[in-house]
């Protein structure tokens, strides 16, 4: 079992612009340094635009800062929204980050789950699956070839010299999150690790489909389960923090969907933390309670990777650090 961190990096205040962004980012960098020292294997960060769900939409700039504050933990986007970036430009950013981090970069790519964020940038959400497939093909060429020519529907280039190379050859490890069994099949075909934030039953189906589709001689990559966690010495204290912070986080998560009178298509979200916990998507409690809950979900799903979300909503640094510390000290050794 390996252990990762997912940082949505949502803004702690309910109104954009009312938070001290510099202080917020410094807190997250402190936490990244702790994750590194505590033995977590990977640090993942999301990409979102025009929403308080992310304070770090410039993912490359943020990961460059994280790389300088850490030494051993691997890091990367989960995901780069590939339809919003020219693959040639993104390849250069990947090479730079892989070199700056000493070969610790992991390349997560996706089409973008929010049609509104895509639309704000002039991208038709209906075209995004095809853009993802085409963009990945061009991106991998730019990471592995000395000169790139490409004739696609969305991107074209001719005899482009490639100057930068990643430290990891032929390219950094790939990640593609899975919300459906079809996504899992595509991830397996691409040789990409995957992670899922869904109820246990769906995660089990996704993992089973991925394993059935895996055809490579390489070792099986990470098959991950993502959960939001709040830990404290008492269950009552953990639940009080979780209920307060989750409401802020859910408001951030749903902001654009509500603005457009819609609901997320592939994700469950409620402002009621107790409902999220009942669905098995989040947990609050003592280390023993969290250990037992996660152990049951690992057994039910067959995952080999646990991704924790300790930092969300309006929690302060002490609350988030307490959760991460208790998890690293008392939960990780029991599940490893």
Q: What is the pLDDT, as a whole number, of residue 128?
A: 97
> What is the four-CA torsion angle of 253, 229, 266, 15, rounded to 10 degrees?
0
pLDDT digits (tens, 9 = 90+) for 25-45: 999 999 999 999 999 999 999
Q: What is the pLDDT of residues 114-143, one digit of tens each?
A: 999 999 999 999 999 999 999 999 999 999
> How confident is the model at residue 18, as a pLDDT?
72
pLDDT bucket at 13, cuts 50 / 70 / 90? confident
Domain boundaries, the chain: 2-79+176-335
Average pLDDT over residues 166-176: 98
The whole-number pLDDT of residue 10 equals 95
What pLDDT was estimated at residue 268? Answer: 81
Mark residue 330 as left, alpha or beta (left: phi above 0; alpha: psi -120 to 50; beta: remaining): alpha
Report the pLDDT value the prediction gives residue 57, as an integer from 0 to 100: 96
First to last CA, the chain: 5
| Torsion angle of the four alpha carbons 53, 57, 60, 64, in this order, in degrees rounded to the nearest 10 | -60
- The pLDDT assigned to 330 comes to 98
> What pLDDT was estimated at residue 14?
64
Residue 204: what are its φ and ψ, rounded to 5°?
-60, -40
Span 286-295, average pLDDT = 98
| 2-79+176-335 carries CATH number 3.90.550.10 | no
C-alpha–C-alpha distance, residues 324 and 43, integer Å: 13
* Tens of pLDDT, residues 54-106: 999 999 999 999 999 999 999 999 999 999 999 999 999 999 999 999 999 99
In residues, how long is the chain? Answer: 336
Largest Cα–Cα distance of the chain, in whole Å?
A: 62
pLDDT reading at 15 higher than 80: no
Q: Note the pTM of the prediction, 2 decimals.
A: 0.96
Predicted pLDDT of residue 16: 66
Give kind and range of the element (H or E) at residue 158: strand 156-161
- Per-residue pLDDT band for 319 (boundaries 50, 70, 90) equals very high
pLDDT band at 225 (very low <50, low <70, confident <90, very high): very high
The DSSP symbol for 227 reads E
Average pLDDT, the chain: 96
Q: Tell me what pLDDT residue 218 has.
A: 87
Q: What is the pLDDT of residue 265?
A: 80
CB distance 85 to 75 below 8 Å: no
Q: How far apart are CA 122 and CA 90, in angstroms?
A: 18
Q: Is the dihedral of CA 1, 71, 32, 49 positive or negative?
A: negative
């Amino acid at each position: 079992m390996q252990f990762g961190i997912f940082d949505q990096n949502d803004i702690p205040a309910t109104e954009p612009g009312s938070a001290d962004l510099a202080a917020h980012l410094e807190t997250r960098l402190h936490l990244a340094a702790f994750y590194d020292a505590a033995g977590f294997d990977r640090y993942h960060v999301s990409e979102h635009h025009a929403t308080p769900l992310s304070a770090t939409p410039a993912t490359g700039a943020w990961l460059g800062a994280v790389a300088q504050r850490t030494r051993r933990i691997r890091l990367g986007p989960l995901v780069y929204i590939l339809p919003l970036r020219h693959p040639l430009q993104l390849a250069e950013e990947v090479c730079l980050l892989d070199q700056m981090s000493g070969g610790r970069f992991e390349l997560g790519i996706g089409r973008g789950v929010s049609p509104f964020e895509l639309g704000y940038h002039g991208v038709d959400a209906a075209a995004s699956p095809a853009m993802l497939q085409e963009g990945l093909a061009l991106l991998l060429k730019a990471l592995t070839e000395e000169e790139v020519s490409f004739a696609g529907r969305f991107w074209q280039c001719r005899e482009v010299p490639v100057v930068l190379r990643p430290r990891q050859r032929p390219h950094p490890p790939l990640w593609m999150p899975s919300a459906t069994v079809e996504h899992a099949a595509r991830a397996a075909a691409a040789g990409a690790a995957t992670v899922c934030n869904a109820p246990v039953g769906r995660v089990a189906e996704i993992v089973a489909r991925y394993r059935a589709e895996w055809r490579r001689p390489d070792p099986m990559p990470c098959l991950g389960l993502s959960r939001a966690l709040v830990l404290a010495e008492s269950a009552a204290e953990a639940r009080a923090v979780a209920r307060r912070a989750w409401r802020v986080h859910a408001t951030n998560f749903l902001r654009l969907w509500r603005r457009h009178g819609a609901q997320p298509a592939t994700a469950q979200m409620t402002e009621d933390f107790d409902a999220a916990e009942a669905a098995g998507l989040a947990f609050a409690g003592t280390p023993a309670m969290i250990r037992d809950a996660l152990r049951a979900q690992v057994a039910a799903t067959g995952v080999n990777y646990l991704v924790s979300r300790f930092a969300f909503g309006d929690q302060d640094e002490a609350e988030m650090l307490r959760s991460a510390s208790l998890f690293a000290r008392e939960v990780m050794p029991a599940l490893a």
